[in-house]
Homo-oligomer: A and B are copies of this chain.
C-alpha cells in the first residue's frame, strides 16, 4: 500500500512525523515523503530538515494521501501543479487525509466541498470559506476523507486510519509499540480547557503561522 505524505518548506514537523510513525508500521505500507520537488525541506521553526525522497510526479496514485500543516503550505493553496496532483490522487485514493492546516490545502483543491472536516482550532473559520462544514472534533471522517485537528491530533487520526486499513488489533499493536498512553502534565491542549491568558499567548503567536 502506497502512502504519500506531502511535505514542503515551512511544514509543522509533528503534523507529518506523528502519522508517519504510526502508518509506516502498517504491514505492507510503502510510505513516502513527497514534495513538489524532491529534496530537503525545512520545518517552520527552521531548526529541522526533512527529506522528500520523491517528487509528487513520481507517485501519482497513492492509496493514502496525507497533507500536514504549517505556514509553508499556504502557497500550495495557489499552486496548480500541487492542486492537480491532489485532485488526481484523491480520485483513486482509498483515503485522503490532512492534519492541522493541511485541511486548507485539501479545501483549496475542492476536496472538502460540502464535507464535514476539522483543522487546528485557531483556523476552523477558514474551512467554511473553502466549502467545508467545520467540526470541532479531534478526528473527523466523511466518506474517504479524514481530517485531524492541530498538530498532535495527527497521531490519533493515524491510529484511527490504521484500524480502518488493517483492523483494530494491528492499530492497537502500533499504539503499544509507540507506547501511546498519553499523560500530558497539564490539561491545556484545547481552547475549551486552557486559560484565557494561555489562549491569548497562542493567538498572538499563531498570527499567520501553523
Contact = CB atoms under 8 A, between A and B. Distances in A.
Interface of A: 12-14, 17-18, 20-21, 24-25, 30-33, 40, 43, 45, 47-51, 53, 100, 120-121, 138-139, 149-153, 155-156, 159-160, 163, 168-173, 175-186, 188-191, 193-195, 197-199, 201-202, 205-206, 210
A171 B180 CA distance: 20
18 contacts: A14-B17, A24-B45, A24-B48, A33-B49, A40-B40, A50-B51, A51-B51, A138-B183, A150-B179, A159-B184, A159-B186, A169-B201, A173-B205, A176-B188, A178-B189, A180-B189, A181-B193, A182-B189
A177 B188 CA distance: 10
Nearest to A174: B202
Contact of A49 (B13, B51, B160): B51
Question: In the assembly, how many copies of this chain are there?
Answer: 2
Tell me which of A120, A169, A184 has the highest count of chain B C-beta atoms within 10 A of its own C-beta.
A184
Contact of A202 (B47, B176, B189, B198): B176
B185 A171 contact: yes
B47 A50 contact: no
Contacts of A47: 20, 24, 30-33, 53
Given A177-B202, A181-B193, A172 B156 contact: no
Given A175-B186, A177-B151, A188-B172, A17 B13 contact: yes
Contacts of A153: 179
A156 B185 contact: yes
Nearest 5 CB-CB pairings of A with B: A150-B179, A181-B189, A49-B51, A172-B188, A182-B182
Contact of A184 (B31, B40, B50, B180): B180
A23 B172 CA distance: 28
A152 B175 CA distance: 9
Contact of A51 (B18, B32, B48): B48
